[in-house]
Amino acid sequence: MCNAYSLSRRQLLGSSIGLLGTLALNKLSHGEAVPVKNSLPHFKPRAKRVIYLFQSGAPSQMDLFDYKPKLADLRGTELPDSIRQGQRLTGMTSRQSSFPVAPSKFKFAQHGKSGAWVSELMPHTAKVADELCFIKSLHTEAINHDPAVTFFQTGNQLAGRPAIGSWLAYGLGSENADLPAFIVMVSQGSGNKADQPLYDRLWGSGFLPTKYQGIKFRSAGDPVLFLSNPEGVGKESRRQVLDDLAALNGLKQQETGDPEIATRIAQYEMAFRMQTSVPELTDISGEPQTVLDMYGPDVKKPGTFAYNCLLARRMAERGVRFVQLFHRGWDQHVKLPTQIVGQAKDTDQPSAALVADLKQRGLLDDTLIVWGGEFGRTVYCQGPLTADDYGRDHHPRCFTAWLAGGSIKPGMSLGSTDDFSYNIAERPVHVHDLHATILHTLGIDHTKLTFKFQGRYYRLTDVHGKVVEEVMA
């Protein structure tokens, strides 16, 4: 039998790692959340969790929140070169010989004490305008969907970095040992049903251990694959199998020191606990009818944005750290006036209901909600401009998002754009700045949440980002 003196340095280190993994497993087996190594939060947090309502495909800011009344008199005229300033174009409009101005056909009005301008497409959002903080001067470098969405999720246009939810799971851990720290749900809108695809890597953990990756809830069958026991297998049998498997995996980890084995063990344990926690979470039959009515007529249809918003509130109640809702259908290069009506109807009432529901339960102050897409849309028309129809191309130079809760200052708008909603007129906010601000609300200094990989320390904001202090209450 080997003793400590006969072990190689590699074997000794491997045994030590295995022991740490076993200790972690003991914690998991007893239903306790395992703390991470980071000394977080860095300062007193304003929020405990985030619900990110990502509008995939890029909503048109000038048809929703960025009111430009002067465009009505410029309809059909050429976008001035002094405004476009040689901006690069996508392949969809680069060969157009004309760039006619297309004003929004939708009416705007001011709402609440804040006087926020909101389109008639968003009547429910208008009712909670005084709870919202609009950032109208967001900008990004990415001009196509995949790199732009990847940038918003990971802080980099190239795939392979950890998602923002993974960074939070790594940095802050979970408040609930029976549910994942990072949960993702995807819904298809009624706008552009052939919208850009979404890939699982968008909620992946990148170079972080895979236990920090997002868990996608499905809209049909078991919310999570293989959650139910096979026919004829009871809970006691499942427990025995997991115990035996954990013992075998523990031996292998002692031999190799591979941290992914500890991840696998932890995931098996989480799946076992989720057999009880997830059915309870997704059972909305006990929700009062008044609450269901708030979220709209689609709330009982699994897979809809309304249903997912209600689940997001239930997840917030149960301590899920980061909930990411992706809603597809906003990529409206043609037939925008038709497509955006349905798309807005999908999202308007549920988004507003989520804000109101969290507030009435006392959860809005420590829950940050973020609503927005990967970039904006152009003021000029893509394709033919007609009396009733227009389309809009991608526009990374300026677009709008809104925040609520998490001690974000309510009832305000930050930044502005020119009369064409084409260039930022004041207070630009970059994607990295938004990321830094989200982390700040959770008590995290974005420059200090790091992970060493391939010889350098990485962070969500890379070497960029400044907290947007003006929106902090």
The pLDDT assigned to 350 comes to: 98
Q: Which residues pair with 323 in a beta bridge?
A: 51, 183
Name the amino acid, one letter, at 431: V
Task: Calculate the average pLDDT of the chain.
Answer: 89
The pLDDT assigned to 270 comes to: 65
The pLDDT assigned to 258 comes to: 80
The span from the CA of 27 to the CA of 424, in Å, is 51
The pLDDT assigned to 253 comes to: 75
Residue 159 lies in a domain: yes
- In this model, does residue 284 exceed pLDDT 80? yes
> In residues, how long is the chain?
473
Residue 164 lies in a domain: yes
- In this model, does residue 4 exceed pLDDT 70? no
The residue among 174 and 373 whose pLDDT is bigger is 373
The pLDDT assigned to 269 comes to: 64
The residue among 284 and 32 whose pLDDT is bigger is 284
pLDDT range class, residue 88, cuts 50, 70, 90:
confident
User: pLDDT tens-digit profile of 393-449?
Assistant: 999 999 999 999 999 999 999 999 999 999 999 999 999 999 999 999 999 999 999
- In this model, does residue 20 exceed pLDDT 80? no
Residue 405, φ and ψ in degrees, nearest 5: 75, -165
Can you give the residue range of the structural domain that contains 69? 31-220+302-471
The residue among 230 and 118 whose pLDDT is bigger is 118
The pLDDT assigned to 287 comes to: 98
Residue 205 lies in a domain: yes
User: Sign of dihedral through CA atoms 313, 307, 320, 23?
Assistant: positive
Q: Where are the beta strands (DSSP E) in 427-467?
A: 429-430, 451-453, 456-458
The pLDDT assigned to 227 comes to: 67
- In this model, does residue 25 exceed pLDDT 90? no
- In this model, does residue 370 exceed pLDDT 50? yes
- Count of Cβ atoms closer than 10 Å to residue 41 Cβ: 18
The pLDDT assigned to 278 comes to: 87
Residue 19 lies in a domain: no
Residue 173 lies in a domain: yes
Percent of all residues in the chain with a pLDDT value above 70, rounded to a whole number? 85
Query: Is residue 64 a contact partner of residue 344, using CB atoms and an 8 Å limit?
Result: yes
pTM of the predicted structure, to 2 decimals: 0.87
The pLDDT assigned to 272 comes to: 62
The residue among 361 and 221 whose pLDDT is bigger is 361
Angle, helices 164-172 vs 431-441, to 10°: value is 30
User: Sign of dihedral through CA atoms 294, 297, 301, 302?
Assistant: negative
pLDDT range class, residue 7, cuts 50, 70, 90:
very low
DSSP letter for each residue of 16-82: HHHHHHHHHHHHHHTTPPPPPSS---SS--S-SEEEEEEETT---HHHHT---GGGGGGTTSBPPHH
Name the amino acid, one letter, at 221: G
The pLDDT assigned to 31 comes to: 42
Residue 14 lies in a domain: no
The span from the CA of 67 to the CA of 400, in Å, is 11
Q: Report the range of poorest mean pLDDT among 150-164, 237-251, 327-341, 423-437.
A: 237-251
The pLDDT assigned to 276 comes to: 77
Query: Is residue 409 a contact partner of residue 471, using CB atoms and an 8 Å limit?
Result: yes
The pLDDT assigned to 24 comes to: 46
- The CATH number of residue 346's host domain is 3.40.720
User: pLDDT tens-digit profile of 211-255?
Assistant: 999 999 988 777 776 666 677 666 676 666 676 676 787 787 778
Say how many domains are in the chain.
1
Residue owning tokens 């890597």: 201
Residue 65 lies in a domain: yes
Per-residue buried b or exposed e for 73-106, using 16+ beta carbons within 10 Å of the residue's own CB: ebeeeebeeebbeeeebbeebeeeeebbbbbbeb
pLDDT range class, residue 374, cuts 50, 70, 90:
very high
Give the ranges where 30-73 is alpha helix by DSSP (H). 61-64
**3-class DSSP state of 308:** helix
Chain Cα centroid distance, residue 472: 20
Structure token digits, residue 341: 């009506």
What's the rounded mean pLDDT across residues 266-278?
A: 71
Residue 276 lies in a domain: no
Q: Report the range of poorest mean pLDDT among 10-14, 231-235, 252-256, 298-302.
A: 10-14
